[in-house]
Structure 1
């Protein structure tokens, strides 16, 4: 998933965070005291107050109620545009990710952002066209690494990834970058809430030839999809379309190697480098 276009200053996020902090302090609540009332972690609350994370609609409504903000936070949220390092079209999806109870990802173009190493991500950013400045690369890298905290901060969220074998055989960034990437993926797969399957290079039947698939289940058990193009992204909420994506993802799971066999393949690929 490539959330890497046109970073803008995060002034609007910082302004919203400052307003949130002011209301919290006015009620004489610490972050540790307010977070449980809103059913969020203190770390998540701190990230938003510091302007480092885009608040979801649900967060804004809970903050309004808990702090009796009288609509001020809603108005401030309308001024939020882009989070530094994240493409405009990706913002809503990124916000939903922080609340999801399950996330399914099939990727055929590049290693998903949640699984990338810093070195691998930096190679991708340096290869962007039009070229990015050093400041833009640093901003996007920081956003990506921050987003990766989801894997460990949400142990009750089920993460499923199906990755094409050729993504590792391509050796993006060279042998050392690829070796470190495989080692990182092998470490991540040890997390109980993460499942990774590899689609073998030779596969006579393949349900994912139409492109990558992103599926997400909300706490209200609503399923949403996300499709990304070269410079655009689109949400999928139509139940009929979601049903099609579910069928394809289920078929991909049956066509890919099992998690155990995938781990074995990655270990062999690492050894061959």
Structure 2
């Protein structure tokens, strides 16, 4: 997916949160080197949050709140964070929804969805972006993507469904070794009980996804929302009529794709052929 293709930005809310965190850390007589291990994060991660260069995870906020005895200040400050470095402006709203959804359905015909990418595959995409990105921009976007991927394991009660085009693996983005690693990674991820992957095989002909990628999410309040992305922007969809159309298409795609078990078999065959 193209989500995350933009220059990382620092918002005032991120910088403010970082300053508040630093103040509580110093008040507790911690250095970054002594606090980071207690939080279970790296010194680099902690420093990036304090500098307003990285969006803290909810887990990080909770651990910092408890470890520093911050009187609820860090929790309250985190509610006002508005920008996530490494994510495109048009994708940030969907990323927030993605982090709380109880169902997430994804059909992506262009590249592997961000939640399934390996570091090497994602790095290849970012390095090939036009206009070219700086090394700092590549790293910021890569970190944001890898952080998002924790959702698959951190949210075991969320049902993730992915429909992938077989041709994505034949492109061999990044070369044969990167593709081998990618297939191994997808085959590992599908072992998770909350993740289902179906492959749309070559030669399927006409199918319900020819109109482009589809992302659907169900909120904890059981409201359905959708997101469709183009090269330079994304459309957040809340209108029930449009949601119904996309759900109909996604449902048809699931019927047209291979079953999850047959999809695993095909992915294993592709891996063995490399």
Q: Normalised by the shorter chain, which TM-score bucket?
A: 0.7 to 0.9
Please tell me whether residue 272 in structure 1 is matched to residue 273 in structure 2.
yes
Shift of 1:125: 0.4
Shift of 1:89: 1.0
Contact kept, 8 Å, 2:226 with 2:236, in 1: the verdict is yes
The CA distance in 2 between the partners of 1:101 and 1:210, in whole Å, is 25
DSSP-derived class of the 2:168 partner: helix
Q: 1:104 to 1:73 in 2, by over 3 A?
A: same
The CA distance in 1 between the partners of 2:132 and 2:231, in whole Å, is 15
The CA distance in 2 between the partners of 1:212 and 1:162, in whole Å, is 10
DSSP-derived class of the 1:267 partner: helix
1:190-240 CA distance string (max 9 Å, x none):
000000000011113300000000000000001000011111111000000
* Matched residue, 1:148: 149
The CA distance in 2 between the partners of 1:17 and 1:4, in whole Å, is 24
The CA distance in 2 between the partners of 1:150 and 1:188, in whole Å, is 12
* Matched residue, 1:219: 220
The CA distance in 1 between the partners of 2:202 and 2:265, in whole Å, is 15
Q: 1:68 to 1:84 in 2, by over 3 A?
A: closer
Please tell me whether residue 190 in structure 1 is matched to residue 191 in structure 2.
yes
Q: 1:22 to 1:235 in 2, by over 3 A?
A: farther
Give the TM-score normalised by structure 1. 0.80
Cα RMSD between the aligned structures? 3.0
Contact kept, 8 Å, 2:101 with 2:158, in 1: the verdict is yes
DSSP-derived class of the 1:201 partner: coil
1:14-64 CA distance string (max 9 Å, x none):
4235547979xx9xxxxxxxxxxxxxxx98xx99976643789xx9xxx9x
1:161-209 CA distance string (max 9 Å, x none):
0000000011111111001100000000000000000001111330000
Aligned pairs (5 A) from 1:232-247 = 232-247=233-248
Gaps of 5+ in 2: 28-38, 66-70
Q: 2:80 aligns with which of 77, 81, 91?
A: 77
The CA distance in 1 between the partners of 2:85 and 2:226, in whole Å, is 23
Shift of 1:6: 1.7
Contact kept, 8 Å, 1:6 with 1:87, in 2: the verdict is yes
Shift of 1:272: 0.8
Shift of 1:77: 2.6
Contact kept, 8 Å, 1:54 with 1:91, in 2: the verdict is no
Shift of 1:68: 7.8
Aligned pairs (5 A) from 1:168-179 = 168-179=169-180
Aligned pairs (5 A) from 1:13-162 = 13-16=14-17, 18-19=19-20, 52-53=54-55, 73=77, 77=80, 80=82, 82-162=83-163
* Matched residue, 1:256: 257
The CA distance in 2 between the partners of 1:257 and 1:103, in whole Å, is 19
The CA distance in 2 between the partners of 1:91 and 1:19, in whole Å, is 23
The CA distance in 1 between the partners of 2:19 and 2:92, in whole Å, is 20
The CA distance in 2 between the partners of 1:199 and 1:163, in whole Å, is 6
DSSP-derived class of the 2:215 partner: strand
Contact kept, 8 Å, 1:21 with 1:49, in 2: the verdict is no
